[in-house]
Amino acid sequence: MINCGIIGYGKIGQIRVQTLEDSALANVSLIYDSDLSANTKYRCTQNEQEIINNPDIDAVFIATPNLFNKPLTIAALRNGKHVFCEKPPAFTGKDVKEIQAIERKSGKKLMYGFNHRHHGSILKAQEVVKSRDYGEILWMRGRYGKSVDESFFDNWRSKKKLAGGGILLDQGIHMLDIMLLFAGNFDEVQAMVSNVYWKLDGIEDNVFANFKNTKTGVVASIHSTMTQWRHLFSLEIFLEKGHIVLNGLKTQSGTYGNEHLVISRNKSCTPTVQWENDIEYTYKIDHSMKNEVSLFLESIINDRKIVDGSSDDAYKVMSLIDKIYNSNK
């Protein structure tokens, strides 16, 4: 059994605790949060260092405002802990490089919470792409948006110092990570970043960006927004011999609907894809967080390399975010 400490016991921290309990591979030994007014059956501390310095804790889960992710990750690694940290890993790609240097010296496992990789629909899409039955990817288009109200002003996500950025760093990062999963990398970036509606300094409410992998020719576009008054998740992957279209994403809130995945193969006549040729899948249950935590724990137990959500994955997505923000400047 892996003894775990939890730093940050908000909504996400509580979900992580439940997944640890369900895994039967770990114990929740100690919890820290700046506000532990909620009732909890777990032993609590008023100082996160008590978790980081505790010799009986094997792994630390970090679910804090973005500002603290980097320093807490580094402190935990230096104290010989395995680390699972929520996204974003830090504020820049350079920050992630600093973390990686500590990770290598520590010899411990470091994994980041890119749970969208582990949704059933994304796993199925990966299976189709890897099979090469539909040829190579030509282009991708992603839209990921939500609405917020004026209570957002009271949230730490509305504060540049704590959040580091707006909707792209908060939510769009997931779509970027998925696109990198399929495309490998993007070296050309064009972007428009705005805060046209909420007008918060340093907290963008919309990002439109185009990318290109000049080696493979794959082109992609993304719209990340918090002025999407009806929550929306949509990912389209068009290949040489067909396409994959995902609409909806099963989440804890249920505001994005079920995951509806459509896979279609080209025919020889125009239009090359007809509706009756669609293969459809609907995913009504989300196991993504459970799956990624299990992979993290199993990587510790079996001393396996982190495959999904590694620090290399984190560096790639943060480097792309750097390019988006810099392109807009």
- From first to last of its 329 residues, the chain has per-residue pLDDT tens of 999 999 999 999 999 999 999 999 999 999 999 887 556 789 999 899 999 999 999 999 999 999 999 999 999 999 999 999 999 999 999 999 999 999 999 999 999 999 999 999 999 999 999 999 999 999 999 999 999 999 999 999 999 999 999 999 999 999 999 999 999 999 999 999 999 999 999 999 999 999 999 999 999 999 999 999 999 999 999 999 999 999 999 998 889 999 999 999 988 777 777 777 889 999 999 999 999 999 999 999 999 999 999 999 999 999 999 999 998 77
In this structure, the number of other CB atoms found within 10 A of the CB of residue 289 comes to: 20
Place of tokens 């970090």: 62
Place of tokens 């279609």: 264
Residues 6+ apart with CB under 8 A from 247: 233, 234, 257, 259, 260
pLDDT for the residue 39: 66
Let me know the angle formed at the C-alpha of 165 by 170 and 329, rounded to the nearest 5 degrees: 130
Enumerate the H helices of the chain as residue ranges.
Answer: 11-23, 49-52, 69-78, 93-106, 120-131, 160-163, 167, 173-183, 288-301, 311-328
Cα dihedral sign, 235-173-135-292: negative
**Contact by Cβ (8 Å): 265, 281:** no
pTM of the predicted model as reported, rounded to 2 decimal places: 0.95
Domains by residue range for the chain, with CATH: 2-113 (3.40.50.720), 120-285 (3.30.360.10)
Let me know the angle formed at the C-alpha of 311 by 308 and 317, rounded to the nearest 5 degrees: 85
**Contact by Cβ (8 Å): 205, 228:** no
Produce one character per residue of 102-127: b if its CB has 16 or more CB atoms within 10 Å, e if not.
Answer: bbeebebbbbbbbbbbbbbbbebbee
- Separation between Cα atoms, residue 92 and residue 220, nearest integer Å: 22
Give the type of residue at 187. D
Burial class (CB in 10 A: 0-12, 13-18, 19+), 56: exposed
- Separation between Cα atoms, residue 186 and residue 175, nearest integer Å: 14
Q: Which two tokens stand for residue 176?
A: 């970027």
Closest to 314 in 3D by CA, of 78, 73, 48: 73
- Separation between Cα atoms, residue 121 and residue 104, nearest integer Å: 33
pLDDT for the residue 267: 81
pLDDT for the residue 141: 98
Q: How far is CA 76 from CA 9, 142, 312, in A?
A: 17, 35, 19
Ramachandran area for residue 114 (φ above 0: left; ψ -120 to 50: alpha; else beta): beta
Residues 6+ apart with CB under 8 A from 11: 252
CA Rg value for the chain: 20
In this structure, the number of other CB atoms found within 10 A of the CB of residue 92 comes to: 17
Q: Which two tokens stand for residue 35?
A: 């506000």
